[in-house]
Amino acid sequence: MKLNIYCLIMKIIIFNCIVYVDASEYKIWGPGLKPEIVMPARYFFIESIPNCDTNLLELIDLDIKIEGSKIDSNKPCRIWTNILNRNDGSYIVRYKLYEPCINVKIDIKVRGENIKGFPLTFKYIMFSEDCNCNIHNVSSFINNWECGETQTQIKEDLHLFKGIDFGKIRKRIVSTYDNPGAVSLCNYVIKNNLIYRKCYGQHVGFKMFMDNILLSLTRKVLLPDFEMFVNLGDWPLVKDTNEIFPIFSWCGSKDSFDIVMPTYDITESTLESMGRVMLDMLSVQGNVRDKWENRHPKIFWRGRDSSRERLKLIEISRQYPDLFNVSLTNFFFFRNEMEKYGPTSKHVSFYDFFDAI
């Protein structure tokens, strides 16, 4: 059961779920078509299926309206709709509920005509992300989200850790990584669907990212009791030593044993999508200009000098300029080596990053 919970946390982070609606010329699918799924911003996809009589769907052809009523009156509830053009004949439709709504209707027209199966009306209440409306059965929750099989990487990272007794290893984990200036670590305990944590280290501000994903989950499902350690740094901790500890991290490597989960900027952009954050894995799909076949076969990277490995990457790129386009954007840790590894390059925005090469 606990293995399933750890897998669930990492699967739900990216909200990767599929639902299909039958249509002859258009394929429409996504979790935004299942009212029982509660997420920060619901979404679904529209894709035209070109044949001899139809062309790729253009944005000007689409007319999409999503509306509903407040549960205590017939007044319209607050719903914000956003359409993202993926420039390949498909679109992402996102909508965010700011309050509980009833009789939510999704109406999709193409060139003035309704797509088969629409308008689609949900008769019961749809809740917003801040609703504390968790269901009691984890299996039912997973089935509702239809998130598919657990990814191989997650299984491989977890397979080393079976029958863990944190009562026996908790103190050893804390003492092993007792390096306050360099290591930031948090011990989480979920008990009766409440979240408890104790953090170690000087720089533990990034705990908010793990806090937020756990809080989001406990609002949606009644989690079983479990415990975990989370590395807040941006480098793996668990090396090939005498004892391997189960620690979740935002990064890993071939010579480390951290349990890798989606990085904190991905979790934040998911939880804050169509809110405080507009740069996320869906919105970027509506802002990429170049098609994949028009891209150059090069590795593109920008970042600061947060580790010696990044300086090594600069050296490799200079040896193979036909394969790498990498550069540092700022020097903080290795300022005495700026002359060797500079000059710096300008920051590249998230949207432009995918068209940079």
Predicted confidence at residue 153, as pLDDT, reads: 87
**H-run or E-run covering 102:** strand 101-110
Nearest to 270 by CA among 27, 13, 51, 11: 13
Instruction: Round to whole Å and give the CA distance between 94 and 286.
Output: 11
Give φ, ψ of 231 to 5 degrees.
-85, 120
Q: 273 in helix, strand or coil?
A: strand
Q: pLDDT tens-digit profile of 167-186?
A: 999 999 999 999 988 899 99
Q: Are 257 and 215 spatial neighbours (Cβ–Cβ below 8 Å)?
A: no
Instruction: Round to whole Å and give the CA distance between 208 and 232.
Output: 10
- The residues near 91 (Cβ < 8 Å, ≥ 6 apart) are 45, 46, 47, 57, 59, 62, 83, 84, 85
Long-range contacts of 309-314 (CB under 8 A, 24+ apart): 311/337, 311/341, 314/341
Predicted confidence at residue 275, as pLDDT, reads: 80
Predicted confidence at residue 12, as pLDDT, reads: 52
Residues of the chain with pLDDT under 50: 14-23, 52-54
Nearest to 134 by CA among 194, 180, 187, 60: 194
Q: Per DSSP, what are the bridge partners of residue 54?
A: 51
Domains (ranges, CATH) in the chain? 17-145 (2.60.40.10), 152-271 (no CATH), 288-353 (no CATH)
Instruction: Round to whole Å and give the CA distance between 173 and 164.
Output: 13
Nearest to 279 by CA among 262, 271, 206: 271
Predicted confidence at residue 356, as pLDDT, reads: 60
Half-sphere exposure (Cβ direction) of 164: Cα atoms closer than 13 Å: 21
Counted residue by residue, the chain has a size of 357
Predicted confidence at residue 10, as pLDDT, reads: 57
| pTM of the entire predicted model | 0.79
